[in-house]
Amino acid sequence: MARINRNYEKLPGSYLFSEIARRTAAYQEANPDARLIKMGIGDVTRPLAPAVVAAMHAAVDDLAAAETFHGYGPEQGYAFLRDAIAEHDFAARNIAIDPDEIFVSDGAKSDCGNIGDIFAEDNVVAVCDPVYPVYVDTNAMAGRAGDYDTDTERWTNIVYMPTTSENDFTPALPEVPVDLIYLCSPNNPTGTVLSREALQKWVDYANATDAVILFDAAYERFITDPAIPHSIYEIPGAKTCAIEFRSFSKTAGFTGARCGYTVVPRDLVREGQSLNAMWNRRQTTKFNGASYVIQRGAAAIYTPEGAAQVDETIDFYRANARTIKEGLAAAGLEVYGADNSPYVWCRTPNGTGSWDFFNRLLEEANVITTPGAGFGPAGEGYIRLTAFGDADDTREAVERIKRMLDAESRD
Amino acid sequence: MARINRNYEKLPGSYLFSEIARRTAAYQEANPDARLIKMGIGDVTRPLAPAVVAAMHAAVDDLAAAETFHGYGPEQGYAFLRDAIAEHDFAARNIAIDPDEIFVSDGAKSDCGNIGDIFAEDNVVAVCDPVYPVYVDTNAMAGRAGDYDTDTERWTNIVYMPTTSENDFTPALPEVPVDLIYLCSPNNPTGTVLSREALQKWVDYANATDAVILFDAAYERFITDPAIPHSIYEIPGAKTCAIEFRSFSKTAGFTGARCGYTVVPRDLVREGQSLNAMWNRRQTTKFNGASYVIQRGAAAIYTPEGAAQVDETIDFYRANARTIKEGLAAAGLEVYGADNSPYVWCRTPNGTGSWDFFNRLLEEANVITTPGAGFGPAGEGYIRLTAFGDADDTREAVERIKRMLDAESRD
């Protein structure tokens, strides 16, 4: 008799975005003339850079002729892409990462999910709260989370580190021993960043305790402050304690094209085993490499023209983020993130619950956001807005929210 | 302290193709003028079909303009592809599979590897011997294989089902209870197929014992015999006991483009849980969908012109397979497979060991094959040849092998 992985039964429903979709659809049906502006889901909208498009067309043509055809590629990614990553994302920042420490994949979500394969079931996992749900759910599936407590909305064996305005969005070191620590900077959902000093503290902690940091840098391209690290490997000691996830999704608009990569340094050893060798074995056994066409497209962002085009798109989103942050601040709201991130994290006015404020924004401003509570209990009292929309729509959404709050303050 | 998954330490080296590459490189270096013909690795060489190429170009153009841009797609695959699969791969063969029973992915290797996520660690796994190594290694990583015995070259907790000419390449039902059963037809590496009757026996066994069959149909497009099922769902009862893996790799030359799919019927329930719902949860949590560009390319093989072009390529490989089979049989070798498969499985002459025969073919015929022993102990005494090469090279390779054997018989 086949037995199932019973950890799946413990998972609560994947509620957040489906509930947003349900409420939005219900409102739109009741108000067919309302023009809703979507600032909820963190998906890009700008087209791929022309250099990327040209590279993908050329790669498709490669597959169209026997002489230039590419079959199975290296599971770890093609040298042309791994070399470009090593040079431009690391060497250019004075970080020595070898191409064979880089594993190209179909995206950071896959890697963040699959990385658990190389760790034992009995590790204690620490996450920030609020948190990108994939970190928690994948560990729950693997049996590391214990049981889900519907009262606290937390898993019994996960260590949650509140990350709120009260601690300047910099989580404190945990009071109990932890083994795997997820950090995300620039952060999803809060849009805030971890300073060099904060990261050094975590690296020192991990090295001292033989923990491993799983560092999600999917949004690093949005960093504007020169003092903020783009990679955890800018921090001395990180190579012996950290794995880093990178994505072309937000960097270069690859949410539909699919490509990312993970760095596992050769110096990262636990229980006598190289995690680089283990991840290599995992990927060569359970993965067959990212698409040749897409890897060619990704490599194009490292050309001078590709880099300039990608920067232009990032600047477009950055301008939206500024529009949102400045507009909502002017309307009297407490706003975080945005400076180094496409996400704006906004405290709800007068202690309103985040789902209640979501409803008001939907119904009174016709703007769709994401309730902070959907990212964990410490997200209650916040909403997330994203800068990935049209510039005019973004301005209009901010104006609508301002008017809504003005009208209320006059009541 | 982070603890690793210690099952990885039990894995023997991933030896087969690296050892082939090592021996080949050593020979080539010592004999720089030798023109080696590669019939070892199962990778395609013909270009993508023109309809696929056109669809991929159009999809790249979609991503090049804001109006037609596609960001995150459904993790399960786009409806345009799932609908086409349901219609052409199933309804056209009188099999009712709903699009929401189909999960599009970046390839069958990923799915074959990841499917273990939804099952408990204590399932007993049965595989054919010889076997595609991914089935075994992924279960070893998950702790289902026990320990590797270097004497028997087998894992202590895996049930091996010898699949050789002695049983007409049709494994017998196991004598001990098993829970997860990997079947592959047309088979890699033997190129042989399972009859309707053989599959019915397995489906009945699985339903009677609540086992689950993991059916790998990656090579179904090569089937020529109308009596051989293309899908396990042609067998009554299969929907309550089988998951099927399909691939565009060999069907349409997607080894470098990357796309496949997995069918998990809604009627497949174990321990009260829907495996369709569990796989959906796994994929939505740990995967972000296959590339839009590649899914558009895959959908093009279901158009009339795409289908005709793909058939032409398959016929090209089939002709190679016939050339190999007929040539080697004429040379007095015992040959299997090839009729419904791109693989030819050839018994070594006079009981020669498969690595020894590999060496002779390399050194005396300059033809690279795969030693059967690399696929498991019951593969000893066989070699695998693939039909994915150039037609002229394939003919020449066969002539060289014939000459080698003729010269030997005259000695």
Note the ipTM here: 0.97
**Spatial distance between the Cα atoms of B206 and B199, rounded to a whole number of angstroms:** 10
Q: Position of tokens 């907790």?
A: B157
C-beta contacts of B64-68 below 8 A and 24+ residues apart = B64/A47, B64/A48, B64/A50, B64/A53, B65/A47, B66/A45, B66/A46, B66/A47
| Residues A200-219 pLDDT 10s | 999 999 999 999 999 999 99
What tens digit of pLDDT does each residue of A247-275 get?
A: 999 999 999 999 999 999 999 999 999 99
Residues found in chain B: 411
* Two tokens, residue A183: 């950090």
- Plot region of A334 (φ>0 → left; ψ -120 to 50 → alpha; else → beta): beta
Name the residue facing B117 among A5, A11, A212 (closest C-beta): A5
Asked if residue A87 has pLDDT above 90, the reply is yes
pLDDT single digits (tens) A2-11: 999 999 999 9
Nearest CA in chain A to B213: A2
Tell me the C-alpha distance between B303 and B265, whole Å.
Answer: 25
Question: Which residue in chain A is spatially nearest to B61 when comparing CA positions?
Answer: A53
Q: What is the DSSP letter of B290?
A: S
Token readout for A215 is 């560092």
Question: Which of B9, B15, B61, B72 is best to mutate for the A interface (most A CBs within 10 A)?
Answer: B72
Residue A305, pLDDT > 70, answer yes
What are the CB-based long-range contacts (under 8 Å, 24+) for A356-359? A357/A383, A358/A20, A358/A23, A358/A383, A359/A23
- Of A16-20, A51-55, B161-165, the range with the lowest mean pLDDT is A16-20
Crossing angle for the helix pair B133-141 and A275-286, to the nearest 10 degrees = 140
- Torsion, Cα of B30, B31, B37, B43 (10° steps): 30
Interchain contact, A1 vs B179, CB within 8 Å: yes
Task: Report the distance separating Cα B203 and Cα B212, nearest Å.
Answer: 9
State whether residue B215 is helix, strand or coil: strand
Cα(B325)–Cα(B345) distance, integer angstroms: 9
Distance between B130 CA and the closest CA of chain A, angstroms: 17
pLDDT digits (tens, 9 = 90+) for A95-137: 999 999 999 999 999 999 999 999 999 999 999 999 999 999 9
Residue range B249-299, pLDDT digits in tens: 999 999 999 999 999 999 999 999 999 999 999 999 999 999 999 999 999
A11/B71 Cβ within 8 A: no
Q: For chain A, what percent of residues have pLDDT higher than 70?
A: 100
A16, A18, A80, A106, best to mutate vs chain B, most B CBs in 10 Å: A106
pLDDT for res B410: 75
Q: Which domains does chain B have, with CATH numbers?
A: 13-42+305-410 (3.90.1150.10), 51-302 (3.40.640.10)
- Give the residue on A whose Cα is nearest the Cα of B212: A2
Taken as a whole, chain A contains a residue count of 411
> Is residue B244 pLDDT above 90, yes or no?
yes
Query: What pLDDT shows up at residue A131?
Result: 97
- Helix, strand, coil proportions of chain B in percent (round to 5)? 50, 15, 35
Q: Is the pLDDT of residue B411 over 70?
A: no
For range A292-314, the mean pLDDT: 98
Question: A305 to chain B nearest CA, in Å?
Answer: 16
Got the DSSP string for B328-372?
A: HHHTT--EEE-TTSSEEEEEPGGG--HHHHHHHHHHHH-EE-EEG
More confident residue, B242 or A21: B242
Q: Would you say B203 and B238 are in contact if contact means Cβ atoms under 8 Å apart?
A: yes
Q: Which residues of A touch B212 (CB under 8 A)?
A: 2
Question: What is the SS3 assignment for B241?
Answer: coil
Q: Amino acid letter at B410? A: R
In angstroms, what separates the C-alpha of A5 from chain B's closest C-alpha? 4
Chain B residue with Cα closest to A116: B5
Q: End-to-end alpha-carbon separation of chain B, Å?
A: 65
Q: CA-nearest residue of chain A to B274?
A: A4
Q: Are B382 and B337 in contact (CB under 8 A)?
A: no
Nearest-angstrom CA–CA distance, A210 and A206: 5
- Tell me the chain A residues in contact with residue B258 when contact means C-beta distances shorter than 8 Å: 106, 288-292
Task: Collect all residues of chain A within an 8 Å Cβ-Cβ radius of residue B73.
Answer: 256
Position A41 scores a pLDDT of 84
Residue A14: pLDDT band with limits 50, 70, 90: confident
Q: Say what the pLDDT of residue A336 is.
A: 98
Judge whether residue A409 has pLDDT over 80.
Answer: no
Q: Which of A47, A134, A288 sits opposite B64 (nearest CB)?
A: A47
Interior angle at CA A99, CA A273 and CA A64, nearest 5: 120
pLDDT of residue A307: 98
**Residues A145-154, mean pLDDT to the nearest whole number:** 95
Task: Kindly tell me if the per-residue pLDDT of A29 is higher than 80.
Answer: yes
CA distance A371 to chain B (A): 20
The answer to whether residues B236 and B207 touch, using CB atoms and an 8 Å cutoff, is no
Distance from CA of B134 to the nearest CA of A (A): 6
- Of residues B342, B387, B290, the one with CA closest to residue A293: B290
Strands A382-386 and A343-347: antiparallel
Q: Is the dihedral of CA B154, B158, B163, B166 positive or negative?
A: positive
User: Given B47, B64, B212, which is nearest A64 (Cβ)?
Assistant: B47
Q: Phi/psi of residue A128, each to 5°?
A: -75, 155
Backbone dihedral region for residue A120 (phi beyond 0: left; psi -120 to 50: alpha; all else: beta): beta
Q: How far is A200 from chain B (nearest CA, A)?
A: 18
Mean pLDDT on B6-18: 89
Residues B140-165 have a mean pLDDT of 96
Partner residue opposite B53 with nearest CB, options A63, A270, A291: A63
Question: What is the rounded average pLDDT of the residues B388-395?
Answer: 96
Tell me whether residues B5 and A66 touch, CB distance under 8 A.
no
Over residues B62-92, the pLDDT tens digits come to 999 999 999 999 999 999 999 999 999 999 9
Interchain proximity A106–B65, CB inside 8 Å:
no
Instruction: Summarize pLDDT for B295-336 with one digit per residue, the tens.
Output: 999 999 999 999 999 999 999 999 999 999 999 999 999 999
Nearest CA in chain A to B55: A60
Give whole-number Cα distances, A179 to A213, A242, B1, B114, in Å.
Answer: 8, 12, 5, 24
Distance of CA B290 to the CA centre of its chain: 19
Nearest neighbour of A8 by CB, restricted to B46, B257, B278: B278
Q: Residue B388: which residues within 8 A CB-CB, separation 6 or more?
A: B42, B43, B44, B45, B46, B317, B320, B342
Residue A411 has pLDDT above 70, yes or no: no
- pLDDT by residue (tens digit) across A385-406? 999 999 999 999 999 999 999 8
What percentage of chain B exceeds 90 in pLDDT? 96
β-strand partners of A103: A262
